[in-house]
């Protein structure tokens, strides 16, 4: 969603985004409130146990007003905790971050029900093995880990086209949200 030009006059209700625009990123829910030449604003719900990785807004200042609970964040070279009623001010600028190294594995098992349909179990595992760096400093206690398991299906539409359906239930998550993941994938072979 992008609005070019000046900010239009309007009210965007709580729990709603402009034209229904809502993003779900890393377990957080974002509702777009304004997006124009001079401003960008959103409402967010950050469930307990989730976090926002260190990042940068090079051309705009960022403000976070905490309505309830607490919010842990990396600010000006240190980890801080904002509480309900606090306003966090993050000046524009460069924060150098480098994600830690991670190991990842996918697995699947299937059973042929018919020539065209296969059902099975699939999953994945992820383990971050080195710390994320923020401004060249290791950020301890934030290594991600997650397991996922769920049903899968493969439908052969013809000899060149296949549909994959996968559902994953995540569990054992550390330093990241866990939830349900669903994928539908089409693979087509072209001559």
pTM of this prediction exceeds 0.75: no
Higher pLDDT, 94 or 28: 28
* pLDDT at position 19: 85
**Residue 5: pLDDT over 60:** yes
**Residue 74: pLDDT over 80:** no
CA distance linking residue 24 with residue 48, whole number of Å: 15
Higher pLDDT, 68 or 115: 115
The closest of 162, 153, 170 to 189, measured between CA atoms, is 162
What digits encode the pLDDT tens for the residues 19-59? 888 888 877 888 888 887 777 788 888 877 676 666 777 77
**Other CB atoms within 10 A of residue 82 CB:** 17
What average pLDDT does the segment 4-18 reach? 82
* pLDDT at position 2: 45
Q: How many residues are present in the chain?
A: 191
Instruction: Name, in order, each residue with C-beta under 8 angstroms of 116's C-beta and a sequence gap of 6 or more.
Output: 155, 156, 157
**Residue 1: pLDDT over 50:** no
pLDDT band at residue 94 using 50, 70 and 90 as cut-offs: low
* pLDDT at position 54: 67
pLDDT band at residue 135 using 50, 70 and 90 as cut-offs: low
What digits encode the pLDDT tens for the residues 137-152? 787 887 889 999 999 9
């Amino acid at each position: 969603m992008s609005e070019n030009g000046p900010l239009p006059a309007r009210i965007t209700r709580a729990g709603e985004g402009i034209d229904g625009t809502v993003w779900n990123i890393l377990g957080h829910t974002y509702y777009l409130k304004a997006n124009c030449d001079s401003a960008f604003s959103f409402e967010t719900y950050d469930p307990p146990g989730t976090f926002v990785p260190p990042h940068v807004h090079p051309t705009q200042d960022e403000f976070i007003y905490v309505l309830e609970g607490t919010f842990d964040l990396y600010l000006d070279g240190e980890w801080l905790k904002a509480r309900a009623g606090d306003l966090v001010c993050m000046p524009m600028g460069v924060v150098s971050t480098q994600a830690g190294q991670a190991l990842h594995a996918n697995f699947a098992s299937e059973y042929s029900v018919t020539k065209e349909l296969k059902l099975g179990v699939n999953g994945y595992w992820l383990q971050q093995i080195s710390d994320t760096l923020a401004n060249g400093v290791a950020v301890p206690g934030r290594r991600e880990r997650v397991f996922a398991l769920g049903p899968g299906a493969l439908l052969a539409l013809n000899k060149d086209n296949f549909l994959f359906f996968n559902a994953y239930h995540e569990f054992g998550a550390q330093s990241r949200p866990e939830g349900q993941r669903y994928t539908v994938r089409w693979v087509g072979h072209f001559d």
